[in-house]
Structure formats: C-alpha cells, structure tokens
Amino acid sequence: MISCLLIHVSRNPQGLPVCKDSVIAGATIQIGRGAACKIHLLDHRVSLLHASVRRSEDGVLYIDGERNATLKINGFIAQSAPLLPGTHVEIGPYALVVEPAASGHDLILSVELIHPLNDHDAALACRTAPVTIAALGLSKRKLGFSLAACILFLYLLLPMLPSASMVFDKWQAGLPVTLNGSWSPGPLAGGHALFEAKCSTCHQRSFQAVSDEVCTGCHKQVGKHLTKEELQVKTFKTMRCTDCHIDHKGSERLVLHDSSKCVTCHGDIKRKIASTELANVNDFAAGHPPFHITLRNGQDVIRVRQDEKDKLVEKSGLKYSHKVHLAKEGVSSPQGDTVMRCQDCHKIKESGRHFEPMTMQKTCQQSDCHALDYTDPVGGLAPHGSEPAVMNHLRVFYSKWLNESPENRAACDSAADIQGITACASDLARKNAAATLFSKNDGCGECHEIQPVSNREVPWKVAPVRINQDWQPGAEFVHAKHDTMGCTDCHDKMNSRSSADISMPAIAKCRECHVGNHPAKGKVASGCDSCHRFHQGVK
C-alpha cells in the first residue's frame, strides 16, 4: 500500500501559491483524466490513464507511463523513473514535484497547472466543439421523443413480430442478425445452440417464462428424482425446471453445480421424510455416511453398507484367485510365466465409465489359457457353453472316432452296430467328462461350482454365474478421469484368494484425494453432483 500526501498548488492574482492538501492511498496510484484516477488531472491534453505510481520489489517508488503516454522527467522524455525527492515530472500541462519525505507518508507530491489554455485557445475550442444540444440547434424534447420512439421500435416492436407470425419467424431466423436477438441475455448452452436463431422454440408465449412442458417435450427420458409419485409431487410441486437450469449463461453452465440445493433437503432428510432409510448428508468431507454396495442375493438385489463387513460377500458362482493371477513372478501359461495386469482382463469402455463384460473366449482363453481339453481315450477341446452342449459335443466326437476305424471300437464292449456305437460314445463322453471337464477342481471345476444331478444324459449342473457389473448404480464414476492411479491403489485385490471378496474402495480412500464443497490445497473439491445425478432417468 502506498500512502501519498498530494499538494494541489494554484496561484492567486498576485502570483503567490495557494496550497490544498489531500491524502490518497492504494496499491498503485493512477494519474490521468479519467474519473477513476486517484490523481485526477482535468485537462484534455492528459490521457484518461496517463501514468501510474508503483512500488518495485526493492521498495523504491517508480512512476511509469501507460502505453503510448509520454512523461517529461527532469527535462527529458522518459517512460519510467524513480520518484526521488526533487524529481520534476511533467504530464501534459501539469507539473508534479516530489517533495522531501515526511513521517506518515511514503510520498509527497505537489501538483500545479503550469501551462493553462490562453483565452484564444479556449474560445477556439468552444467554437469548434459544441458541448450542448442547444449549440447544435436541436430541441432536447424533440430529440428525446425521437430517440424513445426509435428504441421502442427497434427493441420492442420488431422483436415481437416473429411471435405474431410463424412464417415471419422462420424468415427472420435465417438473417445474419435476428430481430429478437437484442432480447438475448447471453449465449445458450451447447445442446440448445441450434435454437439460437429461433427463440420461439422455447419461449412459446411472449413475456411468459418457459414452461416445464416445453422442457419435457424434448427431454422425454429425464427421470424423476423420487420413485414414489405421491412423494415426488409433494416434495417438488412448487419447483420448475428453470429453478435449477438457467440458460443463456454460456455453453457449459446450464446445470446448476450447487450442493446447497441438495443439502436443503438431505441435510435433515429424516425430519422432512420420517419414513426414509437415507442418512443425513451435509458435506462429502465431513457429513457423508459410508458407501452402500449393491449385491445380488439370489434373484433379489440388496444394498449393504460398506462398514458391514460380514455381509459384503459376492455370490457370483465362480472360483477365482486374484492373488494367483497377479503374482509378481507371473502365472503359468502356454507362453511361459506371464506377469498379468488388471487391464489384461478389465478393459474399459469407450465412455470411460464402466468396463466391457468379460467372457471365456475373449478374456480367459485369449492367450490359450484355460483350454477345456479332454484326453481319454483320445483328446480334444470342448466348447465353453451349457452342460448339454458340452455333453453333446463329446458324444458326437466319440461317435465319429468310433466310426473312423474298427480298431477304435475296441474301447467298447459292444460296438458292433449303430446302437452299440451310440451307447459306447455316450459312455465314453460321461467317463471322460467326469475325469476332466466336470471334476471338482479341474476343467470347468477350476472356475465353476459344480454339483452332480440325477440325469443320465447330463449328470452335472454348473452353478449360474452372476457377476456384478455395477456395485454402485446410483452413483456416477468415470474411470477414465482416474487413469493416473493404479488399479490396486483403490482396489485391494493383490492378496484376494476368493471371488467372494469385494474390494470396492471405502469413503475414507476417496477422501484421500477429494474434499467436499470447500476447496483444500492439494485436493479436489467435490460437490454432490460429482457422484450423484438429480434425474436418474427412466427405469
């Protein structure tokens, strides 16, 4: 902050100085003709912003000319100079002199008009530059009425014409400048930009707000916030779309990113809705309950709090060890010991949010791993499919093998005719499937839970596979935005031996990088809409 004592010097008729003091202060002190300048020099020969007084890093005060404005310092033209006692600065017709410093002020300046306009110059200025309407020979009243009429015509009547005729509205939409463009308070959001020239698309009635029906006429798939209709109506009966979605604020500002709107209800949700099972939420960093995980429980879907560890068990029907597959020394494969990464199996979708579904062919067998082979009395590869499909494949395979050569029929006691060959092929299929494909820990049993059933043709049943594709369907999460993190930084799978383990990060892990509504150094400010959406869409 610069404290300056300004001494205005004028001359009485005898030529003696008359001084008037004032104190000004500021981080910088502007000098010029503009009204915002702290040292106001009222003369047309001075620029609006002519110079500024600033403090350098070493504490010395300098005067700097602005842009093309020139300064005359101690008789020489200069653009900048230190303000030392005795420095004489000329700005237009004014002289500024730096007086000796005194306690209480960083700078003492005396200002005096040393080159006033003479009578001839003043008279010439008055003759060549009229400063009143009367001097121009115009009537103030007529001019005022004329300007008012022009304003009403250009900015009221013309913009209203498109709403009176659809044909006229369509015609004016193709003009370089639309007639009602003067009413626009700003650019539309990106998705609405194509309506920029045709305001009547949304503003269907003049001088009335855009109705909800206009919004939902296009946005048909926008879901309600609450699933119960009576609760939705009761809670939001006084709200309109435009309470939260205000257009004409720029291409990215249609959605209201304001957590206070959410906290208004959810900060004390139990008082507003006594029957709710939701917890109060005020801020992600300080007032947010533990996450919930969505799980399958048979045919049902349940939600479990993440701090209820005994309930966090996935019943997928699979047997899988992440510890084996992610071993640092690698896992055995046809190509030798292969070090696997999470991305080898979990491939993110183009949207960046979720992952592609994993399949046996694309995920588990892409490098010839987990081949479903059978070897006795002759080998082959079985398809990955239903139990009947596998058994049919084996029966067809052994039928062809038995028919290829009489020597092969020695594997059966009775294979003299077609019925005998068919029966033998079925026996070989069951025998081989029991020893290889449908054993408890080999073949299919290496990954699947298998139970015997009383069916001679297909005597095994593989447990249904139900892999959870979305643990938190009510939340929004973009994996692509977190690609600077390693998968195991958030998902603790390196030591997981069972597919029943759920390794979704808890809220404490997210809080290592994210804070709530209030920014913090080194962390990401995350409001409610960072993870949640008000409109969940049609279910």
The domain spans of the chain are 2-125, 373-462
pTM value is 0.60
Backbone angles phi, psi at 372, to 5 degrees: -90, 85
Q: CA-to-CA distance for 58 and 55, rounded, in angstroms? A: 8
Report helix, strand or coil for 485. coil
The DSSP H or E segment spanning 429 is helix 418-432
Cα 484 → chain centroid: 17
Burial tier of 259 (Cβ tally within 10 Å: 0-12, 13-18, 19+): buried
Q: Which residues contact 39 (CB under 8 A, 6 or more apart)?
A: 6, 24, 29, 30, 31, 32, 96, 109, 111
Q: Is the CATH number of domain 2-125 3.30.420.40?
A: no
Under 8 Å between Cβ of 256 and 245: yes
Q: What is the DSSP string of 359-394?
A: -IIIIISTTS-S--EE-SSS-EE--SS-HHHHHHHH
Q: What is the DSSP letter of 189?
A: P
Which residue type sits at 200?
A: S
Q: What is the DSSP string of 208-275?
A: SPPPHHHHHHH-TTPPPS-SSHHHHHHHHTT--GGGT---SS-TT-SS---HHHHHHHHTTHHHH-TT
Pairing of strands 2-11, 107-113: parallel
Q: CA-to-CA distance for 370 and 362, rounded, in angstroms? A: 12
Burial tier of 109 (Cβ tally within 10 Å: 0-12, 13-18, 19+): buried
Per-residue pLDDT of the chain (539 residues; tens, 9 = 90+): 899 999 999 988 888 989 999 999 999 999 999 999 999 998 888 999 999 999 998 889 999 998 878 899 999 998 899 999 999 999 999 999 999 987 789 999 999 999 887 766 666 655 555 667 777 778 889 999 999 999 999 888 888 888 888 888 888 888 888 888 888 888 898 889 888 888 888 988 878 889 999 999 999 888 888 888 888 888 888 888 988 898 998 887 888 888 888 898 899 998 888 888 889 999 999 899 999 999 887 778 889 999 888 889 988 889 999 999 999 998 888 788 889 999 989 999 888 888 888 888 888 887 778 888 877 777 788 888 899 999 999 999 988 888 887 777 777 766 567 778 888 888 888 988 888 888 888 889 889 999 999 988 899 999 888 888 889 988 889 888 898 899 999 999 999 999 999 999 999 999 999 998 888 888 998 989 889 988 875 44
Nearest CA-CA partner of 534 in 472, 474, 481: 474
The DSSP H or E segment spanning 460 is strand 460-462
Q: CA-to-CA distance for 81 and 154, rounded, in angstroms? A: 52
Residue 538: its pLDDT value, please?
47
